[in-house]
Amino acid sequence: MTYPKDPGFVSGSETSEHAAREVESKASAMRNKIMRLVGMRGMFGCTSYEAGIELGMLPQTVSARFAELSQRGMLIKSGRTRKTQGNYKAGVYVTDEYSHLVPKNTLPTEARLANIRKAIVKLQQEEALLMERMNG
């Protein structure tokens, strides 16, 4: 288990490691619920605070799952924030489906590379079409 991609624990702490292993068995279902919620919100996105309220999860649980999903490139920070009930700023996340709407410098490196690859493929396809038209 490697945090933040997976639930983490304090090295050398038997209880912390046990808790992380217990959470891991439930973490996948929690990540799926979060992905469905953020996906349903589309471009509007979702903060971990909002997800916690909507899904009835503890803030630290939701925050950890958001970190895992972000590290996996499945949730992308939009660069926007919204206020929590305590008037703190919370980062707004969107699914990778909406990453093309996110300012490029806020995307994780893996997502930036994926966008570049997509752009290259698209350019190659357009070039092939132009060549076909020119060659008749």
pLDDT, average across residues 53-64: 93
Q: For the domain with range 14-135, which CATH number is right: 3.60.150.10, 3.40.50.10470, 1.10.10.10, 3.40.50.20?
A: 1.10.10.10
- DSSP assignment of 46-75: B-HHHHHHHHT--HHHHHHHHHHHHHTTSE
* Residue 125 near residue 117 (C-beta atoms within 8 A): no
Q: How far apart are CA 50 and CA 36, in angstroms?
A: 13
- Enter the pTM of the model: 0.65
Q: What was the pLDDT predicted at 24?
A: 76
List, for residues 71-128, the tens digit of each pLDDT value.
Answer: 888 999 998 899 998 999 999 999 988 877 777 665 566 676 777 778 788 888 888 8
Q: What interhelical angle do 48-55 and 59-71 show, nearest 10? A: 120
68-to-17, 28, 87, 98, 125 alpha-carbon distances in Å: 17, 10, 25, 18, 34
Q: How far apart are CA 76 and CA 114, in angstroms?
A: 13
Q: How far apart are CA 21 and CA 106, in angstroms?
A: 31
Closest CA to 109 of 84, 81, 73: 73
Q: How far apart are CA 67 and CA 26, in angstroms?
A: 16
Give the domain ranges of the chain: 14-135
